[in-house]
Structure 1
Amino acid sequence: MSINLKDKFISNMDQSTHVFSWQVHENLTPEEAKAAADIIISTVQANSQTTKVKLLVDNRFMERNGRSVVFTPEVNSIWENAQRTVFPHVSKIAVLCSGTLMKMQMDRISRNSNIMEINKCFWNDNDQIMLEEAFEFLGIQNNQLVKPKQD
């Protein structure tokens, strides 16, 4: 069975900054999360032959009725396994969150995956400030996929 992630999961590997970024636009089923995790793992492994990759995870669009949507426990487990798999190939991970509840969930996932020393989750009501903080953490000026949200 083929999983279509076109509207839910979008990714980009920026060769110039060595940053693999992705956006999740709505909650993923376990099957969709597994397909997304496979993309993440294969992209990171393929692009970390000479230097470690940086990850920019954009979950800012995971909202419903103005409130953060969090991942199910099954999807959390898939993310944790994916993080453990890519950890040796990654130097830094910045996670943009849609709210404080998601930030707490993403922090918990990174603790469970034992990647806290390279992972930082960001949340701020001011989208521009959140992006600037994440970009500074990763040591980049901008990203081809992750741009300020349009109101």
Structure 2
Amino acid sequence: MSVDLKNKFISHMDNNTQVFSWQVHENLTAEEAKAAADIIISTVQSNSKTTKVNLLVDNRFMERNGRSVVFTPDVNAIWEEAQRTVFPYVAKIAVLCSGTLMKMQMDRISRNSNIMDINKCFWNDNDQIMLQEAFDFLGISSNDLVKPKQG
């Protein structure tokens, strides 16, 4: 069965900066998370033949009624397994969070995946500051997919 991620999961590989970025716009079901994880794993593995890639994860849109939405335990397990799988191919991971609750969840997932050494989660009320911190961490000045939030 095919899973349609069109409006929930959007990804982009920048071959110039070796940054694979993606945005999650809504909470994912386990089936959708598995499909997204497959895209992440295959993209990272196919683009890391000569050098490790950096990941830019944009979860800033994971909100409902002005509050952070966190992933369900079954989706967390899928993310943890995906992180363990791509770890050998990745130099750094920057995760943009929608709030402090999501930042705590993402920090916990990275601890459980044993990727804390290369992973950093960001949260700031000021979107511009958060983006700049993440870009600085990855050593990039911009990203074609991840832009400042509008409004």
TM-score, structure 2 normalization: 1.00
Give distance in 2, aligned partners of 1:2 and 1:91. Answer: 31
Deviations 1:93-145 (A, max 9, x none): 00000000000000000000000000000000000000000000000000000
Query: 1:38-77 to 2 correspondence within 5 Å?
Result: 38-77=38-77
Question: Which secondary structure does the structure 2 equivalent of 1:60 belong to?
Answer: coil
Identify the residue that residue 109 of structure 1 maps to in structure 2: 109
Query: 1:55-134 to 2 correspondence within 5 Å?
Result: 55-134=55-134
Question: Which secondary structure does the structure 2 equivalent of 1:57 belong to?
Answer: strand
Structure 2 portions without partners, runs of 5+: none
Please give the root-mean-square deviation of Cα atoms over the aligned residues, in Å: 0.1
Identity of aligned residues (%): 85
Give distance in 2, aligned partners of 1:19 and 1:94. Answer: 10
Give distance in 2, aligned partners of 1:17 and 1:113. Answer: 25
Structure 1 portions without partners, runs of 5+: none
In the TM superposition, residue 16 of structure 1 has moved relative to its aligned partner by 0.4
Give distance in 2, aligned partners of 1:29 and 1:142. Answer: 30
Deviations 1:41-99 (A, max 9, x none): 00000000000000000000000000000000000000000000000000000000000
Q: How many residues align?
A: 151
TM-score, structure 1 normalization: 1.00
Give distance in 2, aligned partners of 1:57 and 1:26. Answer: 14
Question: Which secondary structure does the structure 2 equivalent of 1:4 belong to?
Answer: coil
Identify the residue that residue 138 of structure 1 maps to in structure 2: 138
Give distance in 2, aligned partners of 1:49 and 1:76. Answer: 28
Question: Which secondary structure does the structure 2 equivalent of 1:82 belong to?
Answer: helix
Deviations 1:6-49 (A, max 9, x none): 00000000000000000000000000000000000000000000
Identify the residue that residue 36 of structure 1 maps to in structure 2: 36
